[in-house]
Amino acid sequence: MTSKDITKGILRAIAYTLGVSLLLLFIFKIQAIIFYIIIAAVISLIGLPIVTFLKNKFKFNNTIAVVVTMIFIMGLLTSIVGLFIPLVMEQGHNLSLLNIKELQSSMESLNQKIISYLSNKDIDFGQSLTKNSIFSKIDYTIIPNFLNSVLSGFGSFSIALFSIIFISFFLLKDSQLLQHGVLTFVTDRNVEGTKRSMNKIKDLLSRYFVGLILQITILFIIYTIVLLIFGVHNPIVIAFLCALLNLIPYVGPIISAFLMTFLTMTSFIGSDFQSVILPKTIYVLIGFTIGQLVDNFFSQPFIFSKSVKSHPLEIFLVIMIAGVLLGIIGLIVAIPVYTVIKVILKEFLSDNQIVQKLTKGI
């Protein structure tokens, strides 16, 4: 090897490194757009069965079916956002009237009721709680600041929403659009395999995301009924938030339980702790547990068996590994990403024995 060849190799390595660095920088700069495309792809996968149904059942042409589907999805999103906007706007309007001292006094009153009740059961435990009051250490001035940040974020949210809806429309209108973009970077000999993989991925993920909507809906109905029965304030908003948190495997239900407990107790903050707050909170948690049992033994097995076609233990291990590696984001994207990987492996490494066992049934 001559010095000229060595020089060319070094220059080539530098060029590759520079090119990869520029590509990563470019991806970092447009990460918001990439996020919009991912969300739009998810929406298009959810809307795909609706478009197919309208075309097959009512003989709509493709454009009309897509328009009707987008109107339906937009109406659904508007209804969901409509649950929160009045509450946020009302809080924003009353920011100047928010009495921080009164809020702190109410929270400490609730804390004292809990301590008083527990002190009757265990004097040492009650005294320990008194010395370590959580509510007395909270800086309540962060509440108006948080509400202000939420209001200021609505402008960015509107732009993001418009972008996602616009991209979703064209992804639904031309279901092959995303596929054509991917095939641009695929060699000729892998084109057919890539097409089969993408069609399979589209089918599996479409059923998976529709199943998630069914899962959230079932939990939302159960939570709403429970909260309405026991007179908790804003039951629809609380039920939707807790149902939505369930999308985060394992961690979401724990957060939902704490959120529902806290909001239930604060709904009756002026009432007697032992006769009103504690019993109602316990009853609400019983209803929450019933919802979780329905989800764990009916909704989730149905989704996994009918969509991603993976064993529950397999799913559990994948979610745990993704959670350790990527945190909350890993928990959320674990199943879709794992499904994509399985389909690709089956298409291009179908002769491998391990791949055959992992992709059995797909």
How high is the pLDDT of residue 149? 60
- Whether residue 22 has pLDDT greater than 50: yes
Residue reference for tokens 């301590």 = 115
User: In degrees rounded to 5, what are phi and psi of residue 174?
Assistant: -120, 90
- Whether residue 122 has pLDDT greater than 70: no
How high is the pLDDT of residue 120? 64
**Paired tokens of 2:** 């001559």
Q: Report if pTM > 0.75.
A: no
**Dihedral over alpha carbons 152, 158, 160, 164 (to 10 degrees):** 160
Instruction: Return the amino acid letter for 54.
Output: L
Instruction: Return the amino acid letter for 324.
Output: V
Q: Give start and end residues of each alpha helix (H) in the chain.
A: 3-29, 31-57, 62-93, 100-121, 123-131, 142-152, 154-173, 177-183, 191-229, 235-245, 251-267, 278-294, 300-303, 312-326, 328-348, 353-358
> Ramachandran region of residue 154, left (φ > 0), alpha (ψ -120 to 50) or beta?
alpha
Render pLDDT for 25-75 as a digit per residue (tens, 0 to 9).
888 888 888 888 888 888 888 888 888 889 888 888 988 999 999 999 888
Convert 8-31 to b/e letters by CB count within 10 Å (16 or more is b): eeeeeeeeeeeeeeeeeeeeeeee
**What is the chain's alpha carbon radius of gyration, rounded to the nearest angstrom?**
26
Task: Give the least confident one: 66-80, 88-102, 224-238, 327-341.
Answer: 88-102
Contact (Cβ atoms closer than 8 angstroms) between residue 359 and residue 345: yes
- Whether residue 352 has pLDDT greater than 80: no
Contact (Cβ atoms closer than 8 angstroms) between residue 67 and residue 192: no
Q: Provide the CA 247 distance to its chain's centre, in angstroms.
A: 5
Q: Provide the CA 168 distance to its chain's centre, in angstroms.
A: 18
**Paired tokens of 290:** 């019933």
Contact (Cβ atoms closer than 8 angstroms) between residue 215 and residue 299: yes
Question: Using the 8-state DSSP alphabet, how is residue 351 labeled?
Answer: T
DSSP 166-216: HHHHHHHHSTTHHHHHHHTTS-GGGHHHHHHHHHHHHHHHHHHHHHHHHHH
Q: Classify the C-alpha dihedral 106-109-115-116 as positive or negative.
A: negative
Mean pLDDT along residues 112-139: 56
Render pLDDT for 241-266 as a digit per residue (tens, 0 to 9).
889 888 888 888 999 999 898 888 87
How high is the pLDDT of residue 119? 64
Mean pLDDT along residues 289-311: 80
Contact (Cβ atoms closer than 8 angstroms) between residue 68 and residue 60: yes
User: Percentage of the chain surpassing pLDDT 90?
Assistant: 11
How high is the pLDDT of residue 286? 94
How high is the pLDDT of residue 94? 44
- Whether residue 284 has pLDDT greater than 90: yes
Residues 52 and 50: their CA atoms lie apart, in Å, by: 5
